[in-house]
């Protein structure tokens, strides 16, 4: 009898363990970049960089523990080791989903992504309307940021409204006759500090087209990191290997057009980005990229970028970037 009870106890333990699920996914890329500056007094640059990401997810039922680690040459970490990025626990209590920890809030056209410890998020859906409450820890001198977001869909239009402690955020999107439209407004309580974007995208004869106009008030700065360009200013200006990082100033607007299509097993894309400065320092960034999947499971991409500034020649450059990337 005792043996039977022991066997039953061991079997129950094994069943409990088998309910847990652990997965590891990630990706890596290596880049060779050659930067040819037009300014004769500025030396050309060659650089080899790598970017490795690992995502570990442990799950039991509806509860998840997520850890994301990254090792990037461009970040120049002193330890030259993996840095912990996203790390959070998500679960549900009744009809309410909760999430606690640190995670990236994502990229958009107007604002930079951010990550911080002590974040809390709870959401639920009421009669088709999703309600999200987000909060973060204070640092001893502030109370932390609290936001409430309400989103839903009506008549084919997706709408989202977020009330923030320093302003509001409005997002609208829809598709009309195969053309996608997306509007994003980040309105600040601070005078002349609003930012907005409107994107139009679609496909014509096998060519995917996208256009975006990003506007900033005189006291606002565009800091997005999207296909239109990397304006997050997270990489030092001295890093010449960055193909499209550009630090904007207050009041500058951005307009970008992208066209891509499949050609003989390759994806060919052209992006033109125009940056207007209130002082007349207009900048043009032209980027041409060819991407091809390889039999080895990796993807090869060659990108040529030309940066031209009407007022200053210090940033004028032609950049060739060769990348080998893999996801698993």
Compare 279 and 96 and report the one with higher pLDDT: 96
User: What pLDDT score was predicted for residue 314?
Assistant: 64
The Cα–Cα gap between 282 and 27 comes to: 36
10 Å Cβ neighbour count for 210? 20
pLDDT beyond 70 at 138 = no
Q: What is 23-327's CATH superfamily? A: Porin (2.40.160.10)
User: What pLDDT score was predicted for residue 116?
Assistant: 83
Calculate what percentage of the chain has a pLDDT beyond 70. Answer: 82
pLDDT beyond 90 at 86 = yes
How does pLDDT run across 299-326, given as a tens digit for each residue? 999 999 998 887 666 678 899 999 999 9
Concatenate the DSSP letters of all residues of 112-169 into one string.
-----SSEEEEEEEETTEEEEEEEE---SSS---EEEEEEEEETTEEEEEEEETTEEE
pLDDT beyond 90 at 124 = yes
User: What pLDDT score was predicted for residue 312?
Assistant: 64
How does pLDDT run across 252-293, given as a tens digit for each residue? 999 999 999 999 999 999 999 999 876 666 889 999 999 999
Q: How far apart are the first and last CA of the chain?
A: 49
CA 122 vs. chain centroid, Å, equals: 22
Task: Render the burial of 244-268: b for 16+ CB within 10 Å, e for the rest.
Answer: bbbbbeebbbbebebebbeeeebbb
Pairing of strands 83-93, 317-327: unpaired
Whether the CA torsion 5, 7, 13, 19 is positive or negative: it is negative
CA 101 vs. chain centroid, Å, equals: 19
User: What pLDDT score was predicted for residue 73?
Assistant: 73
User: What pLDDT score was predicted for residue 245?
Assistant: 66
Whether the CA torsion 250, 198, 302, 288 is positive or negative: it is negative
Answer for the pair 171, 197: CB distance below 8 angstroms, yes or no: no
The Cα–Cα gap between 131 and 139 comes to: 26
Give the pLDDT band of residue 93 (cuts 50, 70, 90).
Answer: very high
- As a whole number, mean pLDDT of residues 142-153 equals 84
pLDDT beyond 80 at 237 = no
């Amino acid at each position: 009898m005792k043996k039977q009870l022991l066997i039953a106890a061991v079997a129950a333990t094994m069943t409990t363990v088998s309910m847990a699920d652990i997965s590891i996914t990630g990706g890596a890329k290596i880049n060779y970049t050659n930067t040819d500056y037009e300014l004769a007094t500025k030396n050309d640059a060659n650089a080899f960089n790598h970017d490795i990401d690992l995502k570990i997810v442990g799950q039991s039922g509806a509860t998840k523990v997520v850890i994301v680690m990254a090792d990037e040459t461009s970040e120049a970490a002193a330890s030259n080791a993996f840095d912990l990025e996203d790390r959070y626990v998500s679960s549900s209590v009744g009809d309410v989903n909760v999430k606690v920890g640190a995670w990236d809030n994502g990229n958009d056209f107007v604002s930079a992504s951010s990550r911080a410890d002590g974040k809390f998020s709870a959401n639920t859906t009421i009669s088709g309307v999703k309600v999200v409450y987000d909060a973060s820890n204070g640092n001893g001198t502030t109370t932390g940021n609290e936001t409430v977001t309400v989103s839903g869909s009506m008549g084919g239009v997706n709408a989202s409204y977020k009330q923030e402690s320093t302003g509001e955020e409005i997002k609208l999107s829809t598709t009309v006759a195969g053309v996608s439209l997306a509007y994003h407004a980040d309105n600040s309580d601070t005078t002349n500090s609003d930012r907005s974007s409107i994107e139009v995208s679609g496909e014509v004869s096998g060519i995917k087209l996208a256009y975006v106009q990003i506007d900033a008030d005189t006291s606002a700065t565009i800091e997005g990191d999207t296909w239109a360009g990397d304006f997050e200013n997270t990489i030092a200006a001295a890093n010449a290997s960055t193909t499209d990082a550009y630090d904007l100033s207050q009041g500058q607007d951005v307009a970008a057009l992208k066209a891509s299509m499949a050609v003989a097993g390759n994806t060919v894309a052209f992006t033109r980005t125009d940056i207007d400065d209130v002082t007349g320092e207009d900048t043009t960034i032209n980027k041409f990229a060819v991407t091809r999947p390889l039999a080895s499971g990796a993807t090869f991409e060659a990108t040529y970028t030309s940066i031209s500034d009407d007022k200053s020649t210090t940033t004028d450059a032609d950049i060739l970037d060769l990348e080998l990337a893999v996801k698993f």
